Amino acid sequence: MNLTRALEVALPEIPARTLAERYPRLDPGTTFREHIEDGKPVVRLYVPSAESMFTFPVHLWKLAQLFDGTRSYAEIAQIYSQENGTEYDGDAVREIAGELEGEGFWYKTPQEKNILRLQQSAEERRKKVKVRSRWADLSDVTFPAFNPDRFLTWFYARTKFIYTPWFTAMTLLAFAFTLGLTISHWREIWRDTVAFYNFSNKSWGDVFALYTLGMVVVAVHELAHAHTCKHYGGRVRSMGFALVYLTPAFYTDTTEGAVLGSRYQRLIIFMAGIWSELIMCSIATPIWWMTPPGTLLHDGAYFIMMMTGTMSLIINWNPLMKLDGYYMLCEIVGVVEIKENSTAFVSAWVKKHIWGLPVEVPYVPKRRRIGFAVYAMLSGAYSYTVLYVVARFAGNFVRNFSPEWGFIPEIGVAMLIFRSRIRLLVNFMKFVYLDKKDRILAWFTPKHTAMAAGVLAVLLAIPVWHESVSGRFLLEPSSSAVVRARVPGSIVNLYVEEGQKVAAGQKLAQLQNMPLQSEYEEMQAKLVLAAERRNSASLRYADYGSAEEERKQLSTQVNQLTERNAALELTSPIGGIVLTPKVEALLGTYVNAGTEVVEIGDVRTLRARIYVSEYDLNKIRMGAPAQVEVQGQVGKWQATSISIAPRPAEMDSRLGASGESKVEANLPRYFQVDLEIQNSELRLRPGMTGVARVYGKRRSLGGMGIEMARDFWGRKVW
């Protein structure tokens, strides 16, 4: 300990003292209402000075109401005992008041707050500042709030028609119309949604526009919560802006609504935010549908749809995260803070019964234990998945500009996001170690240590991990034939339609060429006359040679015309299905020689082409097994890799390739890998998309670790 530190300990600060003892008093602005929780009456109250909601048993609330700042503890005990028939003494009342003081329950004037602040030691003040630091945790970065109550009172007076039956009926009709548009254009909307949330292809301008639009949508969302709280008589003390994992988020204090509202009213308050987003989506979707693509109005409506549509519903209605759906679930099941309670129960149960640690398991009624366990596991898995996606967002965005070093911000953001979780894990490991240290040290004799090292080495050497590479594909027929018109003509008959199964040699279409057919018939007539002249010359023994020569020339011309005339009938060279879209539209059209009329594909064997980066190319080989998942189809298909391109190629734009990049030199190169799929049941069709996974050899964990370290050193460092 240095001299300065020693002096601080020897000469502690002497805080200022109040001139006289002041008795606690209840905040005069406190709002309260009695509720039923778990079958028992409780009182919910909101204390403005503490900016918190408290839940008291009825008898404790009756006692707290007697604190007016002038009554002594003995006087309060006497009054309470007389009114309720329960004996309390001054010391018991003082102890209860002290516990509530520790929770910041009692009202304090600004002068009393300043004196209390002075009474704190410098070290305590530094700790409080550190705890309250806005930037201590990226999961919740808050900014100063403001009191919107006067504005909401003015705004509510002009917009309270929102809660009338006719407006609700109109919104439900709008929701139904939007749902119909969404279902009829689902493939297009879903494709656009996936592309919209694929941040690996976003520029800085796109991210800025996304943040700006997100702030507007979330502001309307929170305003709806505040508006509904005002409708049910609650005051809204604060609204503000925050960053939740760097995502824009406004927050609204609707605690008074939770205190004053019934269970139904609280559900409506929680639902109001999602309802407002559905209204915005119902306005934007018809605009997107009616306006031409590429216009400012169309693109703006598209952005609103993406922010307030399916993805917003999935996130906000999801009860596994502490958003609107979570609070609605708490109200429906009647359990306050189900996430914290279930997680604490499961965590303590695992620590005690699995790890054998000396911890106390919180009491949970038997009827809730299974539900708590299921919810805690699902909620934990979902929350960590969301955190992982957030960490991947940074990596995907940076990879758009520098694929080589995109892992650095990804790891950095992951460390910031998971910092508190890592700290909890470290503390848990320390706890386990301290509790088991003596037994572990006693067990690790030289013999046991050698055995453990041998088992660990065997486990690291066993090839348990099956290497694989995945990629999107577009199904194509393994063999196809394009039937073209060999002679010009008009298509007068079509015998097939798109998707129809045909056999080899089957007639596909009939062309008509009147000049060709007339010439053919004329040449046939001339050939008949030439044959008669040859026969006549043969009988007369005169001019036979010239007559025979004329017949041969006409015969050659007739044969040529016969082939051209036969070409007016189009037949399939192979068996398969018709791939040409809307082939019936060709009926009655005139086609020139060489024009494609019908394409036939053999779909008994299909080909799926994926693109593998040069980093993963060493994991697969010719003849490697693969599995294929086709979008919209249930099940998996077995496949085999039949070819690997010898040089890189550009990725097919139909698979979502982003085209040329601003940093083209840094992009990884991709190699084509073709897979062959047996389609004996003909359930698959060319043009279907999906994901294929090609499997390589099995690797041991130890070998994978060594290879990863070697690759990192060779690619990133050396």
Supply the DSSP symbol for 292.
Answer: P
Looking at the fold, whether 357 and 418 belong to one and the same domain comes out as yes
Predicted local confidence at residue 491, as pLDDT: 83
Predicted local confidence at residue 661, as pLDDT: 40
- In this structure, the number of other CB atoms found within 10 A of the CB of residue 381 comes to 11
CA distance 368 to 350: 17
Looking at the fold, whether 614 and 584 belong to one and the same domain comes out as no
CA distance 192 to 290: 17
Predicted local confidence at residue 125, as pLDDT: 46
**Residue 671 CB-half CA count within 13 A:** 17
Looking at the fold, whether 224 and 349 belong to one and the same domain comes out as no
Q: How far apart are the first and last CA of the chain?
A: 46
- Beta-bridged to residue 251, according to DSSP, are 240
Looking at the fold, whether 287 and 417 belong to one and the same domain comes out as no
Looking at the fold, whether 204 and 318 belong to one and the same domain comes out as yes
Please report which helix (H) or strand (E) contains residue 389, including its range.
Answer: helix 366-399
Answer whether residue 446 is part of any domain.
Answer: no
Q: Which domain holds residue 546?
A: 481-591
H-helix segments, 198-252? 204-231
Tell me how far CA of residue 174 lies from CA of 181, 269, 274, 314, in angstroms: 11, 21, 15, 20
**Of 316, 333, 350, which closes a domain?**
333
Looking at the fold, whether 154 and 290 belong to one and the same domain comes out as yes
Residues 271-324 pLDDT 10s: 898 899 899 989 988 888 888 876 778 777 888 887 787 667 777 788 888 888
Contacts of 88 (CB under 8 A, 6+ apart): 63, 77, 80, 81
Predicted local confidence at residue 134, as pLDDT: 44
Answer whether residue 73 is part of any domain.
Answer: yes
Q: Which residue has the tokens 């196809």?
A: 480
Helix (H, G, I), strand (E, B) or coil at 446: helix
Supply the DSSP symbol for 713.
Answer: I
**Of 313, 333, 353, which closes a domain?**
333
Answer whether residue 8 is part of any domain.
Answer: no
Predicted local confidence at residue 644, as pLDDT: 83
Answer whether residue 377 is part of any domain.
Answer: yes
Residues of the chain scoring pLDDT < 50: 1-11, 13-20, 121-136, 657-666
Looking at the fold, whether 176 and 70 belong to one and the same domain comes out as no
Predicted local confidence at residue 316, as pLDDT: 79
Predicted local confidence at residue 176, as pLDDT: 92
For residues 104 and 98, the answer to whether their CB atoms sit within 8 Å is: no
CATH of the domain at 59: 3.90.930
Question: Structural domain tally of the chain?
Answer: 5
Looking at the fold, whether 75 and 170 belong to one and the same domain comes out as no
Looking at the fold, whether 313 and 347 belong to one and the same domain comes out as no
**Which DSSP string corresponds to 566-627?**
HTTEEE-SS-EEE-STTGGGGTT-EE-TT-EEEEEEEEEEEEEEEEEETTTGGG--TT-EEE
For residues 49 and 58, the answer to whether their CB atoms sit within 8 Å is: no
Predicted local confidence at residue 93, as pLDDT: 84
Predicted local confidence at residue 366, as pLDDT: 87
Looking at the fold, whether 629 and 573 belong to one and the same domain comes out as no
Looking at the fold, whether 499 and 420 belong to one and the same domain comes out as no
Answer whether residue 457 is part of any domain.
Answer: no
**Of 557, 591, 625, which closes a domain?**
591
Predicted local confidence at residue 15, as pLDDT: 47
Answer whether residue 419 is part of any domain.
Answer: yes
Predicted local confidence at residue 466, as pLDDT: 79
Residues 354-378 pLDDT 10s: 888 888 888 888 888 898 999 999 9
**How many residues in total does the chain contain?**
718
Residue 261 φ then ψ, to 5°:
-80, 155
Tell me how far CA of residue 362 lies from CA of 4, 79, 352, 435, in angstroms: 45, 36, 11, 21
Looking at the fold, whether 293 and 146 belong to one and the same domain comes out as yes
For residues 325 and 331, the answer to whether their CB atoms sit within 8 Å is: no
